[in-house]
Amino acid sequence: MAFTLIHYSFMFGMICTALCAIVVLQRYFLRRQNIALFFALFLTTYAFACGSYAFRGFSVALDPLDIMLWQLSNYLYVVMTTSIALFMLYPLLQQTRDHRIKSSLWAIVGIIIIVIVFNLSVISIAEIQLIYIDIFGLGHYTLIYLPIPYVYYLTLIFDVIVAHIALVILAISYKRETDTRYKSRALHIFTGLIIVVYGQFTLLHPVLAVFNPLVIVIGTLLITRGVLRS
């Protein structure tokens, strides 16, 4: 058991993200806005993901607790990316009257559900293998599933693709919106999500991983600012 710089960094990220979630939740109680409720839950999930890395300081690489927390963080990332895509698609499904467009949207929903089932199944059944221990003492793992080579990276790619569905919808919303306040909201959430999505790739690097909590804080602050402007 050894808390190092990276564990304290994730603890900092967890606290900041949890505070953002509380602020957004307060907005929901004041305004009863669905967007505030969703992002309060989204940020809470993100805080748990940060905590899963922070509390790995109570274990060492290959300990059952360390492996369980790494696995938990991967489950949470699937929940985060797919839930935000479905949340962004829901209004479109409600508003669209064109049958062909609506069928296409439902097809996208079906693909997202397949990604959810695939990623969660792979994380559950694949062998977890240690790749290396970085300079901060954090173990980096991968998933090994013989029928599918590079399956771990495949799950990451699927997560990013699904997250891009939400990003595309936000970009369209920003372009179509005429009200400057709502335009600013879409821009803040869009930028925050880009930082959150691509910031996760720093976890794959033995040195850059320590900067992930900083990326988390920047992304969550932008998302929070965007929601509060709604």
Return the CATH number of 5-228, one of 2.70.98, 1.20.1070, 2.40.50, 1.10.246.
Answer: 1.20.1070
Confirm if 153 and 204 have CB atoms less than 8 A apart: no
C-alpha count within 13 angstroms, C-beta hemisphere, residue 61: 15
Of 158, 151, 161, 141, which Cα lies nearest the Cα of 209? 141
pLDDT, tens only, 40-83? 999 999 999 999 999 999 988 889 999 999 999 999 999 999 99
pLDDT of residue 175: 82
Q: Where are the domains of the chain?
A: 5-228
Alpha-helical (H) ranges within the chain are 5-31, 34-54, 64-95, 99-125, 151-176, 180-199, 212-228
Task: Give the separation between CA 202 and CA 211, rounded to whole angstroms.
Answer: 7
Q: Provide the whole-model pTM.
A: 0.91
Percent above pLDDT 90 for the chain: 66
